[in-house]
Chains A and B, each alone.
Chain A
Amino acid sequence: MMNGGPFVLYALSQLRQQEIEKKARNAWRSASTAEARARPRHRGRAVRLDTVVGGC
Chain B
Amino acid sequence: MLSAVEHAVELEPGLWRWEAYHPTWKKDVASVLVSSGNDVVLVDPLAPRDDAAWAFWQALDDASGAGRRLTVIVTVPDHARSAPAIVSRYPQTRIHVALRRARRSLAGIEVAPLEESTPLPAGVRAFETGRADERAIWIGPQRTLVVGDILLGISGGLSVCPAGWLPKNVTRAVVGGRLEPLLQLDIERVIPTHGAPPAESRAALEFALAEAQS
Bound form: Cα–Cα A41–B77 in Å: 23
| A52 CB within 8 Å of chain B | yes
In-complex Cβ contact of A52 among B23, B51, B77, B108 (8 A): B23
Our count of residue pairs bridging A and B at CB distance below 8 angstroms stands at: 72
Interface of A is mostly: loop
Contact B81 A54 (CB under 8 A): yes
Contact A55 B78 (CB under 8 A): yes
Nearest CB of B to A2, in Å: 35
| A16 CB within 8 Å of chain B | no
Query: Which chain B residues lie closer than 8 Å to A45 at the CB level?
Result: 108
Contact A56 B58 (CB under 8 A): no
Contact B84 A51 (CB under 8 A): yes
Contact A49 B85 (CB under 8 A): yes
Contact B46 A40 (CB under 8 A): no
Q: How large is the interface on A (under 10, 10 to 19, 20 to 34, 35 or more residues)?
A: 20 to 34
In-complex Cβ contact of A42 among B25, B81, B91 (8 A): B91
In-complex Cβ contact of A32 among B25, B57, B79, B82 (8 A): B57
Contact A56 B22 (CB under 8 A): yes
Bound form: Cα–Cα A29–B89 in Å: 14
Contact B149 A47 (CB under 8 A): no
Question: In chain B, what residue has the closest Cβ to A45?
Answer: B108
Nearest CB of A to B146, in Å: 15
Bound form: Cα–Cα A56–B108 in Å: 18
Query: Which chain A residues lie closer than 8 Å to B54 at the CB level?
Result: 24-25, 28-29, 32
Bound form: Cα–Cα A44–B172 in Å: 42
Nearest CB of B to A9, in Å: 25
Contact B29 A42 (CB under 8 A): no
Contact B84 A56 (CB under 8 A): no
Question: In chain A, what residue has the closest Cβ to B24?
Answer: A55
Contact B81 A53 (CB under 8 A): yes
Please list the 6 inter-chain residue pairs (A to B) with the smallest Cβ-Cβ separation, ordered nearest first: A47-B88, A53-B80, A42-B88, A56-B25, A54-B78, A54-B80
A-B contact pairs, 19 of them (CB 8 A): A24-B54, A25-B51, A25-B54, A28-B57, A28-B58, A32-B54, A40-B91, A42-B84, A45-B108, A46-B88, A47-B87, A47-B89, A53-B80, A53-B83, A54-B77, A54-B80, A55-B78, A56-B149, A56-B194
Which A residues fall within an 8 A CB radius of B? 24-25, 28-29, 32, 36, 39-43, 45-56
